[in-house]
Structures are given as structure tokens and as C-alpha cells.
């Protein structure tokens, strides 16, 4: 009798686990997607031909595996996939995976829950139907007011009437460059600049003019000299937390640059995508509002998956930039506009900014610990480091060797606007978990202390 009971219990356990395995396979294959709702347990039991008690055990097993989440009053949903605690890319050669220190999107604990709470009011059919409608580049005034609050910094708050929207920051950049610089025109850029600017210029047939920098960022005199040699149509600049150098221009330097813009009649495109990490400082646009077009986005300060680009334009340029946004197909999704409005109104944006500023400091401490003794430039609120490599390493072989060891970094050549690139790499600190970041930096430091393969002899 006891043996029969043990056999029955074993068969029941095997049955509910096999059903859970089948559902797990549907999730892994994509047949069930994150956010999909599973049927009520009674309906699930009928579909699978199992007892109701077995269905309950299946649901508990799926939750235990981290595949589903139950919400009181709503049901059981497939949750977004998350890595198992022990699952991480190998750091030994050859690598089965790669730790990404190239792309750089900061996230903080609790971020998704915070953003989800702000979207609850959009789930009603009438509200959602409105949010899924079209939106123009200028957007409704109420949403421009929210955008002004998002962009406010250092005592500066943009005039909501001057704000335009794009689908993301890159689209905002493309539209502004299209509006300001004609094909064949000249765009001044810092000698180390955002790689997307290089791609946009190449696509539009624009000549990039590299401008000299020092430890305080772009040198205003270099702008004047380049413009005097052959007129520039505009200058692209990152005054706060420059990518890749993490430099921030001191106040007097920003004032000098604003003065150059006024005297020369030049226009500046100010990229403020990382500036939320130094939100105590006012932008260049505060000092030269009629000579500066500021661009920004939600991707870094909030999340990359539901992004939104911002343009703060002088009145005289608003029509041209709005036309470029429309003709390029770069106008925003209304859903993103509505989401940003709600996140700003409920304080989620401000909480995320504060949390990401603190998280940047944590990650910089990790970098300081592992890269001590090397020539590394950064800032406590930056999510990337600029690393001048020790001899005899050169950037490209180091990047290739790092990839073989399972770590992706970016060579200086990706940022160089001129012919010569420094012997350096950019290390992004935002994407991996802190423990994985620590392992990756340990690997890079050990690699930098070793000799390149082509110098090793028997």
C-alpha cells in the first residue's frame, strides 16, 4: 500500500513538472511572450487535461522558476526574462559570450516597477486609444510643459513653446543637422566626438571639421580660427560629461564659447544626452539661447526601450527643424509623449535621475579599484572611462584581444573626427551588473599588464 502511494506521488510530481517544462519551453521559444497572461488555473487544467490541483502546482512551479508573476486581481503573467544568478558570460578564452562595455544604458534597481506604476493610468481603452494616435513634432502644450520640467537644470528651464519632439535622440540630432547644414557644408566638431555625428555627416554629404580640445573641453579659439579659415555652418558640442572623455567645460569656458557664437553668428548644436548626470549646471543654451539648438532624450535618464528625443530651438529655426523632423519621418510616437508626461508628473523621472547619479558613483568606484595605476580619465558621475593604454599595446589589437576574452570595448578611432586617433579605448560602465562589471575590468586590467600576442616569443 505504501509503495503504491509513493508511486502515485512520484507520478503526480513528474506530471506537474512535465507540464511546467512544456510551458517553460513555450516561453523560451517565444510562443508565450513577456506580458502574456496565462489562463485562469481552472481553464488551464481543462486545456492541459490535468486536475485543478495539478494546475495549481504547475503555476507555483513556474513562479518558483522566475518565469511568471502573479498580480492580485489580474492573473498570472509571463515575466520578462532575467539571467539566472550564475549565468554570466565566460571570461576565459575562447569566450562563449561577451560582456558589453560598448553600449551604455544605465539602469537602477526598481526602475521597471517605478515606470510600470506610471503607466497604469494609460491601460484604459479610451486613454490607450488616444495615446496610440499620431503626434506632431511640436506636441500638445501640456506635454511640452512636462518636457520643460524634464530638461530643466542649473536654474535654467526652457520655454515650452521652443520644444520640439523626435522619436529618439539620434533622430533629433539628424533632423537638427539636416536643418542647419546643407549638403557639402561644414560642421565643426570636437576632435573626439559622438560616432553617430560622423555617420549622420557621411549620409548627408557634410564635411566634419575637427576642433582642438584641452583638459577643459572644446577650445573656443579653435572655433574662431576654423570659421575664419573657411566658414562653418554650425558647431556640434558636448559641454557636460563629454562622450567619450567625461569632460565638463568650466563656466568661464562655456561663457567664452557663447561669446564666440554671438560675435561670429555661428550656431551650436548642444548635445545634452548625458548632462542629466550634472544637472546642477546650466547648459550653453542658457547663455546663447538664440545661437544654440539643444538636443536631449529619455534613453539614458529613463530607459532605451521607450525613448523620446527633445529639441530646444530658437524661434527663427523652429520651422526648419520641424520640417526636417516631418520629412525625415522622425516625429515621435504619442505613446512615448504621454508616458514621459506621466513619469514627469508622478516624480519617476526625478527619482531615476537621482538614483542613476548615485549608481554612476558606485560604478566609478569599481573602475577606480580595478584600473588603479593606469592612465584613466573620467568623472564620478560619468558612466564611461577614457583609458590611454600602456605600451606596447595599441588600441585595435587590445580591443580584439579583449573580445577574445569575452569583453567588448570601443577603440578611440570610433570617436576620432580627424585622421589620427589616440592610443585609447572607451570603457562603458552602465550595462552589466556591478559584479559582472568587476569581473570584466579585472580581465581588462590583467590583459593590459600582459604582452600582446604578436610580441610574445618562445
**Which has the closest alpha carbon to 295: 212, 379, 381, 237?**
237
Produce one character per residue of 194-229: b if its CB has 16 or more CB atoms within 10 Å, e if not. Answer: bbebbebbeebebebbbbebeeebbbbebbeebbee
**How many Å apart are CA 445 and CA 376, to the nearest integer?**
12
> Quick one: cell of 151?
530638461
**pLDDT above 90 as % of the chain:** 72
Q: Assign residue 75 a region: left if phi > 0, alpha if psi is -120 to 50, beta otherwise?
A: left
DSSP string, 285-332: HHH-TTTEEEEEESTTTT-SSS--EEEE--HHHHHHHHHHHHHTT-PP
d(CA 450, CA 389): 12
Distances (CA, A) of 198 to 192, 194, 206, 266: 11, 7, 9, 20
Q: Which residues contact 320 (CB under 8 A, 6 or more apart)?
A: 179, 180
Helix axis angle for 348-370 and 334-345, nearest 10°, is 90
- Write down how long the chain is: 458
List, for residues 200-257, the tens digit of each pLDDT value.
999 999 999 999 999 999 999 999 999 999 999 999 999 999 999 999 999 999 999 9
Contacts of 13 (CB under 8 A, 6+ apart): none
Residue where the block lists cell 547663455: 287
Pairing of strands 309-312, 292-297: antiparallel
pLDDT tens-place string over residues 303-332: 988 889 999 999 999 999 999 999 999 999
Bridge partners of residue 398, in order along the sequence? none
Provide the grid cell at 284: 550653453
Give tens-digit pLDDT for 60-97: 888 887 888 876 667 888 886 543 333 333 233 333 45
Rounded CA-CA distance 409/426 in Å is 6
**pLDDT reported for residue 26:** 87
C-beta separation of 334 from 132 below 8 A = yes
pLDDT at site 71: 65
Strands 424-428 and 75-78: unpaired
More confident residue, 284 or 20: 284
**CA end-to-end span of the chain:** 73
C-alpha dihedral, 213 to 218 to 224 to 228, nearest 10°: 60
Q: Is 131 helix (H, G, I), strand (E, B) or coil?
A: helix
Looking at residue 178, its pLDDT comes to 97
Rg (CA), the chain: 26
Task: Give the separation between CA 12 and CA 181, rounded to whole angstroms.
Answer: 71
pLDDT tens, residue by residue, 400-433 = 999 999 999 999 999 999 878 999 999 999 999 9
Q: How far is residue 395's CA from residue 409's CA, in Å, rounded to a whole number?
A: 10
Per-residue model confidence (pLDDT) at position 80: 67
- From CA 187, how far away is CA 208, in angstroms rounded? 5
pLDDT digits (tens, 9 = 90+) for 113-153: 999 998 888 888 888 888 888 788 998 888 999 999 999 99
348 sits in which H/E element:
helix 348-370
* 427 three-state secondary structure: strand
Beta bridge partners of 214: 217
How far is CA 76 from its chain centroid? Answer: 30
Q: How far apart are CA 93 and CA 26, in angstroms?
A: 33
Give yes or no for a contact between 200 and 173, defined as CB atoms under 8 angstroms apart.
yes
Amino acid at each position: 500500500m505504501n509503495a503504491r502511494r509513493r508511486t502515485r506521488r512520484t507520478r503526480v510530481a513528474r506530471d506537474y513538472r512535465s507540464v511546467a517544462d512544456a510551458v517553460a519551453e513555450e516561453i523560451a521559444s517565444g510562443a508565450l511572450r513577456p506580458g502574456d497572461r496565462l489562463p485562469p488555473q481552472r481553464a488551464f487544467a481543462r486545456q492541459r487535461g490535468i486536475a485543478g490541483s495539478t494546475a495549481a502546482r504547475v503555476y507555483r512551479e513556474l513562479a518558483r522558476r522566475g518565469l511568471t508573476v502573479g498580480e492580485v486581481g489580474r492573473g498570472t503573467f509571463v515575466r520578462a526574462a532575467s539571467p539566472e544568478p550564475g549565468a554570466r558570460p565566460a571570461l576565459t578564452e575562447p569566450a562563449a559570450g561577451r560582456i558589453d562595455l560598448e553600449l551604455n544604458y544605465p539602469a537602477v534597481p526598481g526602475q521597471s516597477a517605478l515606470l510600470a506604476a506610471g503607466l497604469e493610468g494609460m491601460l484604459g481603452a479610451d486613454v490607450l486609444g488616444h495615446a496610440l494616435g499620431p503626434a506632431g513634432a511640436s506636441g500638445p502644450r501640456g506635454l511640452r510643459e512636462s518636457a520643460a520640467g524634464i530638461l530643466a537644470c542649473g536654474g535654467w528651464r526652457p520655454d515650452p513653446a521652443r520644444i520640439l519632439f523626435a522619436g529618439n535622440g539620434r533622430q533629433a540630432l539628424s533632423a537638427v543637422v539636416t536643418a542647419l547644414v546643407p549638403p557639402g557644408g561644414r560642421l565643426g566638431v570636437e576632435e573626439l566626438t559622438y560616432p553617430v555625428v560622423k555617420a549622420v555627416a557621411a549620409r548627408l554629404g557634410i564635411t566634419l571639421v575637427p576642433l582642438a580640445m584641452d583638459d577643459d573641453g572644446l577650445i573656443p579659439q579653435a572655433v574662431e580660427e576654423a570659421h575664419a579659415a573657411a566658414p562653418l555652418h554650425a558647431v556640434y558640442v558636448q559641454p557636460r560629461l563629454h562622450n567619450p572623455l567625461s569632460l565638463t567645460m568650466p563656466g568661464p569656458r562655456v561663457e567664452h564659447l557663447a561669446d564666440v557664437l554671438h560675435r561670429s553668428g555661428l550656431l551650436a548644436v548642444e548635445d545634452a544626452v548625458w548632462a542629466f548626470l550634472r544637472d546642477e549646471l546650466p547648459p550653453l543654451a542658457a547663455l546663447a539661447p538664440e545661437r544654440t539648438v539643444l538636443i536631449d532624450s529619455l534613453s539614458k535618464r529613463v530607459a532605451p526601450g521607450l525613448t523620446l528625443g527633445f529639441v530646444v530651438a530658437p524661434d527663427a529655426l523652429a520651422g526648419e527643424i520641424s520640417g526636417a523632423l516631418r520629412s525625415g519621418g522622425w516625429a515621435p510616437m504619442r505613446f512615448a509623449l504621454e508616458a514621459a508626461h506621466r513619469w514627469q508628473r508622478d516624480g519617476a523621472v526625478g527619482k531615476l535621475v537621482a538614483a542613476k547619479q548615485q549608481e554612476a558613483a558606485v560604478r566609478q568606484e569599481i573602475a577606480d579599484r580595478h584600473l588603479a595605476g593606469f592612465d584613466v580619465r573620467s568623472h564620478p558621475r560619468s558612466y564611461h572611462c577614457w583609458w590611454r593604454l600602456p605600451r606596447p599595446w595599441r588600441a585595435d589589437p587590445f580591443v580584439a584581444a579583449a573580445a577574445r576574452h569575452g569583453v567588448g570595448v570601443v577603440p578611440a578611432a570610433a570617436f576620432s573626427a580627424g585622421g589620427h586617433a589616440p592610443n585609447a579605448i572607451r570603457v562603458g560602465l552602465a550595462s552589466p551588473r556591478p559584479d559582472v562589471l568587476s569581473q570584466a575590468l579585472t580581465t581588462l586590467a590583467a590583459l593590459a599588464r600582459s604582452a600582446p600576442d604578436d610580441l610574445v616569443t618562445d
